[in-house]
Structure 1
Amino acid sequence: MAVTVDRAGTVDMAGKRRGARARRARTAAVLLLAATGLFVAGCTDQGKPRVPADDGRGQLDTAAPSTSAPTSSEPAQEPDHPSPLAVKIDNVRAARPQTGLDSADIVYAEQVEGGLSRLMAVYATKLPKAVGPVRSARESDLELLRQFHRPTLAFSGAQGKLMPLINRAPLDARTPEKASDAYFRGTDRAIPHNLYLRPKRLMPTTPGADALTTGFRYGPAPAGGRKDTSETVRFPAARFGFTWSASRERWLVSLDGAPDVMADGKRLAPATVVVQYVKVRKSRFHDFLGNNTPYTVTVGSGKAKVLRDGRAYDVNWQRAKATEGTRFTTKDGTPMNFAPGQVWVVFAKAP
């Protein structure tokens, strides 16, 4: 029963009980902090916390902890290093002709579900008025994009279980939900092949060539090579053709046997084409029909064929880790220079 406190010092039993509870709470807090300190001490090495190692795709590999102090998961670049814009481009027949692809500095072609293809266009030196049709991202994109300093990735969305990985990756993910004023729907074709991006609404200023941290070298062609005026790369359900035009000094692109012409009538014509032979394995993701999503492995080493100036060069490629670009060298170790201009990289499954 509560006892009222009077000025003569009558004991307040309720107050005593409240004071005791407060002392017990403080004691429990001290013990909890002590226990936490012991736990942290037991999980460190010489005072350095164990930090999960980044596996190169924006994920944290808790199976391979590092004993080093925490560091940024982004590439070791200058703080003000420019960042490029990467856009996922639809590449099925219903998506053609495409828009703005001829302004890209680099176009990557990868295999997706059902043996079809999808493109990733990278922009740094020029931003067109519009790009599209824009489509969804894939897990492989995260590994490929790690070579850049926090790039902006424009895409229509992704498989539900993949989105958390994209959101954790060191990039700026911009979907129509996050940047609705940068996207619009065209009226000349059906959904989902009519979503377009206005790049300058995502990037008011052009990043510049310094944003292209790909490891590519540009300059005079090395000695050797062989005359080659036509090459075809086949995916299970897609086909890329490249034909040398001496008059334009460019490789004319064909897709699935038809000339690849942009919406404004321009023929796609890169200066250099790289057929990079890589491992293509199954990922843990599937599309809504249950088809497995292929994972294109771009870290490692292997063979490649570089097309420039009407000649083909058999080269080696190496990318030691995801935060580095890719080096291409001839068989004798000479760096392989690309011709100035747009570069296409087609990831073909290694034999």
Structure 2
Amino acid sequence: MKKIIWSGLAAVVLMAGGCTSEESSTAPAETEASNEEKEAAEQEATPEEEDKQEDPVKEPEQEEPSYAAVEPLTGEGTNEASQARPLAVMINNHPDARPQTGLSEADIVYEVLTEGELTRFLAIYQSGHPERLGPVRSARGYFIDLAEGYDAMYVAHGWSPEAKRMLQGGAVPYLNGLFYDGTLFQRSAERRAPHNSYIYYEDALSGLESKGYELQKDIPANFYREEGFSAVSADSAEDVSVWYSDKYVVQFSYNEEDGTYERSSDNTAFTGEKAAEQVDASNVFIVEAPHRVVDEAGRRQINLEDGGSGLLLQHGEALEVQWRNEGGRLLPYKNGEKVPFQPGKTWINVIPASAGLEESVKDIES
């Protein structure tokens, strides 16, 4: 990463010099007296004039907005924090499933490989939600573990053998489209299965509630405000690519005006179903973890328990960190101290440790 170079601006002070001219020794005395009187008059100022000179116009100070609380998964200020239990939804990332619906409104998104070179998204919603979600895809065990870390309800359409055992064993509250296809889950006629399963957010909640699950929870937060970041030494990281393979590359480009990273996929802006829904995040957390293929279908086991190296992108800078699993959440640490996420949305990319950060994360121009 390129080191940030802070450029100091040189202050240039313009000095105004006074000019004098020689007076003729033969000038009339009346002229000299007149000049002296004029200078004396100019040096005198009325109290009103002095007050005007000493009281420059002050710009009104803009007060920082004051909030009664913060949203637990984004850290953003609010006057009434949501008590909604998080909803974690499996979102398809096959090329035939793009553009997806609802990703831009997720508080947290995990992107992890499933089979082959394809990733899948676990989109977690709590502070707000879209009207509709999808395409919804099948469950995997490590995504269930992540959902459990947020005490989230879990929505998928289908499951692997491992995920089936976990869900039927009560790992998390869940809703599976296999049992609600055509009722709670709707198929889009514009796409082919399995890339066309959608669910309305309110339908997901009603389905979960009908199964007796609690829809309200107290959720802990892990954030600090803008001024906290200046204490962290980091490298420049305005344009970063994450290589899952030669065929699938994710890009994050820093938007200084918004203070967020805009996501692209294979050099194409990653938007929602509506082109204006640019997917972005205040925090991009890239972590390496051991991956192992476990069956002929190419399914993987991914070790998200033991921690490892990570890279945290915030404010156009990259900080090398270690990640730890705390209660199912992947969190960044530096020198043994937790580095809380900045207020805003968070995108977490899990990459294979076999390639690691050195090979998988690059400047876009390199």
Query: Retained in 2: the 8 A contact 1:110–1:296?
Result: no
**Structure 1 residue aligned with 2:234:** 225
- Aligned partners of 2:171, 2:93: CA distance in 1, in Å? 26
Percent identical: 23
Tell me, in whole angstroms, the C-alpha distance in 2 between the residues paired with 1:146 and 1:258. 32
How far apart are 1:124 and its partner, in Å? 0.9
* Structure 1 spans left out of the alignment, 5+ residues: 1-80
1:312 lines up with 2:318 in the alignment = yes
1:337 is paired with a residue whose SS is: coil
- Secondary structure of the equivalent of 2:307? strand
- Partner Cα distance (1:240, 1:169) in 2: 34
Query: Quick check: 1:258 aligned with 2:281?
Result: no
Distance 2:123 2:336 in 1: 29
Tell me, yes or no, if structure 1 residue 326 matches structure 2 residue 330: yes
Residues 88, 135 of structure 1: 8 Å contact kept: yes
1:127–1:299 distance in 2 versus 1, CA, 3 Å: same
Secondary structure of the 1:344 match is: strand
Residue 99 of structure 1 contacts residue 263 of structure 1 at CA under 8 Å; is this kept in 2? yes
Aligned to 1:335: 338
Task: Give the superposition deviation at 1:83.
Answer: 3.1
1:182 matched to 2:184? The reply is yes
Offset at residue 269 of structure 1 (A): 0.9
Amino acid at match of 2:302: T
Establish whether residue 244 from structure 1 lines up as the match of residue 254 from structure 2.
Answer: yes
CA deviation profile, 1:211-244 (whole Å, cap 9, x unmatched) = 3x5x743433242111110111111342211011
Normalised to the residue count of structure 2, the TM-score between the two structures is 0.66
**CA shift at 1:178, angstroms?**
3.8
Residue 46 of structure 1 is matched in structure 2 by: none
Residue identity matched to 1:147: G
Distance 2:184 2:111 in 1: 24
Partner residue of 2:243?
A: 234
1: CA distance, partners of 2:344 / 2:272: 17
Count of residue correspondences: 260
CA RMSD of aligned residues (A): 2.4
1:335 shift after superposition: 2.4
Q: Which amino acid is 2:244 matched to?
A: F
Which residue of 2 is the match for residue 191 of structure 1?
193
* Conserved? CA contact 1:124–1:207, under 8 Å: no
Name the counterpart of 1:126. Answer: 128
Asked if structure 1 preserves the Cα contact closer than 8 Å seen for 2:111 and 2:121, the reply is yes
Cα-to-partner distance string for 1:119-149 (whole Å, 9 max, x where unaligned): 1101111121001111111122232223132
Q: Deviations over 1:191-227 (max 9, x none)?
A: 211111111122269968943x5x7434332421111
**Secondary structure of the structure 2 residue equivalent to 1:135:** coil
Aligned 1:44-123 pairs, distance under 5 A:
83-123=85-125
Matches within 5 A, 1:13-32: none
| Higher share of residues assigned strand | 1
Aligned to 1:203: 205
Residue aligning to 1:135: 137
Q: Distance in 2 between matches of 1:133 and 1:302?
A: 32
**Paired residue type of 2:337:** T
Instruction: Give deviations 1:59-110, integer Å, cap 9, x for gaps.
Output: xxxxxxxxxxxxxxxxxxxxxx863111101112111111111111100000
Superposition deviation, residue 299 in structure 1: 1.0
**Counterpart of 2:157?**
156
Give the deviation of 1:296 after TM superposition: 1.9
User: Which residue does the alignment assign to 1:346?
Assistant: 349
| Post-superposition offset of 1:291 | 2.8
| TM superposition score normalised by structure 1 | 0.68
1:324 Cα deviation from its structure 2 partner: 4.5
Aligned partner of residue 203 in structure 1, secondary structure: helix
Which has the larger Rg? Answer: 2
The match for 2:306 among 300, 322, 334 is 300
Residues 340 and 208 of structure 1: is their aligned pair in 2 closer, same or farther, counting only changes over 3 Å?
farther
Query: Residues of 1 paired with 2:162 and 2:289: CA distance?
Result: 25
The answer on 1:282 being equivalent to 2:283 is no
| Contact 1:142/1:169 (8 A) holds in 2 | no
TM-superposed deviation, 1:311 = 0.6
Structure 2 residue corresponding to 1:144, chosen from 120, 136, 146: 146
Distance 2:85 2:306 in 1: 24
Code of the residue aligned with 2:344 in structure 1: it is: G
Distance of aligned partners of 1:96 and 1:314 in 2 relative to their CA distance in 1, 3 Å threshold: same
Kept after mapping to 2: 8 A contact 1:117/1:238: no
Give secondary structure in 2 for the equivalent of 1:146. Answer: helix
Moved more, 261-270 or 217-226: 217-226
Q: Does structure 1 conserve the Cα–Cα contact (< 8 Å) formed by 2:144 and 2:163?
A: no
Give yes or no for contact 2:145–2:328 (8 Å, CA) kept in 1: no
Which consecutive unaligned segments of at least 5 residues does structure 2 have? 1-82, 357-366
Looking at structure 2, the residues matched to 243 and 208 of structure 1 have their Cα atoms a distance apart, in angstroms, of 36
User: Structure 2: which amino acid aligns with 1:192?
Assistant: P
Q: SS at the partner of 1:338?
A: coil
